[in-house]
Amino acid sequence: MTNSAHFMNKALELAAQALFLSSPNPRVGCVIVDASNRVIGRGFTQQAGGAHAEVMALRDAASQGNDVRGATAYVTLEPCSHHGRTGPCCDALIGAGIGRVVGALTDPNPQVAGQGFERLRAAGVAVEIGPGATESRELNLGFFSRMVRGTPWVRLKAASSLDGVTALHNGQSQWITSAAARTDGHAWRARACTILTGIGTVLEDNPRLNVRDLDTPRQPRIAVVDSKLDIPLDAHVLKAPGGCFIYTCSTDRSRIEELQALGATVVALPNAAGKVDLAAMLRDLAARGTNELHVEAGFKLNGSLVREGLVDELLLYQAPKLLGTGAMGIANFGPLDRLDQRLPLEFRDVARLGPDLRIVARVQGREHF
């Protein structure tokens, strides 16, 4: 393994520590290495408004009394070049006297998009691009989706029996899978910017949809598809720490004001069929900073998202049991008349969690944007 690959791997390990932390900013790691190949500074991106990975690594080096002049910074994404909540990271590296920057790939944010690398080169800093590009993009697929497609990366989560049943005919569903699977599901919630559900799930289960089974520095927002604003005023999701967004077709002013008084954001996005325009909803969520959208809904909303081609990835937990006929499945988007109408998937990961299986299956080609 070359030095560049070795140290970029260390930077990627740091970037992974921002998994639950940095949204809506990308998950970025940075290591600073001196001429003798000694790591003298480490950092990863903090919460939005906090320091980025490069600044954290520079601070770490300074706290240890390490001189970074002439050193190499390995960064998993192009150093930013614009003023947002923080100053440009490329300027911080230049000001510190960094001699070389190795970046995994170019930032897709139009406000950066190569300008960070150009500013570094113009200041006499050597720049290398490429090591760790695949891994960094995968870690930040939601950020890339928001910047390039204008929509979040949509991950649909479901727990089912081995025969694909998510609830009995009477709606009973707690619990099909084990505690180990449910804890893992909370980790996937924690990495998302927003959790989406439908009004049917709210009315039937009154879920909280928050992260409970592990420590997290931030709670995701909640979004609810509720065409007629049937959501009860005492619904748990309206008290979500990250805020609640309700997508509707209703123009009932008094009802909207009641929900707004509880802190909810109500967005009317009707389509021609009198339902919520789901594609427009995704664009709105992206505009509000959603990188990864985690869907925990019933088979009707799941089916609508699948039918409209809006799902990128499935997160499935399967228990080793059969629940039989007359029960509900993962998504209602059929029946299909031909096999070529199927949704083609590819397995990305299969893992054992206690007695259950966790399957991550991606819609074929969805990451190519």
Q: Hunting for tokens 């909810």 — which residue is that?
A: 264
DSSP 192-250: -SEEEEEHHHHHHH-------SS--S-PPEEEEE-TT----TT-GGGG-TT-EEEEES-
CA distance 247 to 225: 5
Q: In what order do the strands lie in the sheet with 29-33?
A: 39-44, 29-33, 72-75, 100-103, 126-129
Report the alpha-carbon distance of residue 239 to residue 226 in Å, rounded: 16
| Cα Rg of the chain (Å, integer) | 23
Active-site positions read 54
Amino acid code (one letter) for 87: G
d(CA 274, CA 199): 15
